[in-house]
């Protein structure tokens, strides 16, 4: 079994131990450790983003997007996907016809990506 040593803060304090009998390789253990640290990070912000339907978008993907209003670029993880049909023109599809849109719920750090 692989042990994961979690160090938090500036590297000056230990975090909770991670035990999982199914973590048999080091890469799997490192991935689990990163996921736990990300999930417990204090400065997480939830954002919702509406985009035209895109078939290759999946839960858990990391996305980089820019907010033209705020003038910032964000890195976030997709945690929920909603697909809706609307008659809004200008996104995709025929003018005035039904249009598929995706509403993504994203979780990411509150600081912008530089």
Q: Where are the domains of the chain?
A: 7-39, 44-109
Can you give the pTM of this predicted structure?
A: 0.55
Q: Dihedral, CA atoms, 86, 89, 93, 98, nearest 10 degrees? A: 30
**Rounded distance between C-alpha atoms, residue 80 and residue 13, angstroms:** 33
Q: How many residues does the chain have?
A: 114
Contact 42, 81 (CB under 8 A): no
**Rounded distance between C-alpha atoms, residue 82 and residue 33, angstroms:** 28
Task: Enumerate residues 6+ apart whose C-beta is below 8 A from 57.
Answer: 51, 78, 81, 102, 104
Task: Give the per-residue pLDDT at 113.
Answer: 43
62-86 tens-digit pLDDT: 988 887 887 878 888 899 999 998 7
């Amino acid at each position: 079994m692989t042990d994961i040593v979690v160090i938090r803060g500036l590297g000056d304090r230990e975090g909770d131990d991670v035990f999982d009998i199914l973590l048999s390789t080091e890469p799997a253990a490192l991935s689990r450790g990163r996921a736990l640290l990300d999930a417990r990070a204090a400065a997480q912000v939830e954002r919702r983003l509406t985009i035209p339907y895109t078939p290759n978008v999946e839960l858990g993907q990391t996305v980089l997007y820019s907010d033209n209003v705020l003038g910032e670029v964000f890195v976030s993880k997709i945690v929920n996907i909603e697909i809706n049909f609307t008659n809004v023109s200008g996104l995709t599809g025929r003018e005035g016809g039904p249009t598929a849109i995706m509403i993504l719920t994203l979780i990411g750090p509150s600081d912008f990506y530089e």
